[in-house]
Amino acid sequence: MAEFTLDLNDDQKQIRDWLHGFAADVIRPAAAEWDEREETPWPVIQEAAKVGIYSLDFYAQQFFDPTGLGIPMAMEELFWGDAGIALSIVGTGLAAVGVLANGTEEQIGTWIPQMYGDADEVKVAAFCSSEPDAGSDVGAMRTRAVYDGAKDEWVLNGTKTWATNGGIANVHVVVAVVDGELGSKGHASFIVPPGTPGLSQGQKFKKHGIRASHTAEVVLEDVRIPGHCLLGGKEKLDERLARARERAEAPGGERVKNAAMATFEASRPAVGAMAVGTARAAYEVALDYAKTRSQFGRPIIDNQGIAFQLADMRTRIDASRLLVWRASWMATTGKPFTSAEGSMSKLYASETAKQVTAQAVQILGGNGFTREYPVERMHRDAAIYTIFEGTSEIQRLVIARTLSGVPIR
């Protein structure tokens, strides 16, 4: 088991510097253009594929870093470049992780390569879970999957929303209800192969921030997929549903159900790392500006009102990174989140990103309010961190429940 350390080893430093160079030289110069276009930055994704960043191999290497710091380090550097473009680069990973977590070896080998394509023809994938009436409340999911035993096919119907790469993806991973009486335990994940009839893109959202990342509804109308597209297979699903029914009927069954939150806890530090990257980027712009912008005959950083803001910004950023690294290390080394440390890291880092980017706009004054400077875009982008992967309110709820042992509502 790797000991917790704040010192990156030589390999980690090399990867960090490589990612930072790509973010500085490729992502950041393209950020304003693709934010304005509100389109998927295919040329940038292709460049990422050429150098090996947009690939399952790269993210697998970071995921299996024994210190747990590979993923948060990568997320921070890419999102330091630009949140919208970075999310376009890493968004396929959501679907890939869904297959890795639930699929058979054959499914993993078949579908994940199709999610990424190659450097000559990049592809993207979409993970479709949220619905118009089922965001934080996953138990309210309405998309249904019904098994047609005569044809060994699953039939999917419903509407998904807030799907990154939804409708433009080569492969869609869709979460659907197979047993409505079991709540979230009655859900299963399915692969919808390329070109499957009945799947279409619904509304494409025009967003406040992360506008280079494609977000849309996915409509499923009598979508028929082969039985082998159920992740994990039907035998495994039937066994899992049987166990869930037994536990739901047994004393303490509700506590077993809530234990599933541990899975979400392990993924939240990665979002916290994204927020740290955006906050750090805005802070650096504000610091440089404060050193060079003069008012009343001296640089504005000479004023305590500005200098103290920058001190607070840097302190919050460093504290956020420490929380993210702690949670990431705990997840990798199998230490239990007895105080909801995963949610703590995501909550604090996402709130920090909103606060720091707002302060950066204020320090730049009128210039910060224009698109001539990047802090305006960073401030818009930062708003998403307190919303996706569990809102700040949900994070506080998880933390409070974990600390108190009380089912707070």
Residue-wise pLDDT for 231-270, tens only, equals: 999 999 999 999 988 887 765 544 433 333 444 566 799 9
Average pLDDT over residues 308-317: 98
Q: Which two tokens stand for residue 317?
A: 């950023």
Mean pLDDT for all residues in the chain: 93
**CATH H-level, domain 125-233: superfamily:** Butyryl-CoA Dehydrogenase, subunit A, domain 2 (2.40.110.10)
pLDDT computed for residue 251 by the predictor: 57
Q: Which CATH class is domain 261-404?
A: mainly alpha
- 272 pLDDT above the threshold of 60: yes
pLDDT computed for residue 133 by the predictor: 87
Torsion, CA 117, CA 118, CA 121, CA 123, rounded to 10: 30
Domain with CATH 1.20.140.10 in the chain: 261-404
pLDDT computed for residue 142 by the predictor: 94
**323-362 residue pLDDT tens:** 999 999 999 999 999 999 999 999 999 999 999 999 999 9
Average pLDDT over residues 112-139: 90
Q: Exposure string (b/e) for 22-31, b if CB count within 10 Å is 16 or more?
A: bbeebbbebb
1 pLDDT tier (thresholds 50, 70, 90): low
Q: Which fold has domain 10-116?
A: Butyryl-Coa Dehydrogenase, subunit A; domain 1 (1.10.540)
Annotated catalytic residue, options 33, 372, 389, 393:
389
Residues with Cβ within 8 Å of residue 101, at least 6 apart in sequence:
none
Residue in this structure with the two tokens 């420490």, named with its chain if needed: 322
- 66 pLDDT above the threshold of 90: yes
pLDDT computed for residue 256 by the predictor: 37
Helices and strands in the chain: count of H runs, count of E runs: 15, 9
pLDDT computed for residue 262 by the predictor: 45
- 107 pLDDT above the threshold of 60: yes
* CA nearest neighbour of 271 among 360, 394, 373: 394
% pLDDT > 90, the chain: 85
Average pLDDT over residues 380-386: 98
- Report d(CA 233, CA 235) in Å as an integer: 6
> First and final CA of the chain: distance in angstroms?
37
82 pLDDT tier (thresholds 50, 70, 90): very high
Domain with CATH 2.40.110.10 in the chain: 125-233
pLDDT computed for residue 5 by the predictor: 82
6 pLDDT tier (thresholds 50, 70, 90): confident
183 pLDDT tier (thresholds 50, 70, 90): confident
Domain with CATH 1.10.540.10 in the chain: 10-116
389 is catalytic: yes
CB 385 within 8 A of CB 275: yes
% pLDDT > 70, the chain: 95
CB atoms within 10 A of CB 356: 30
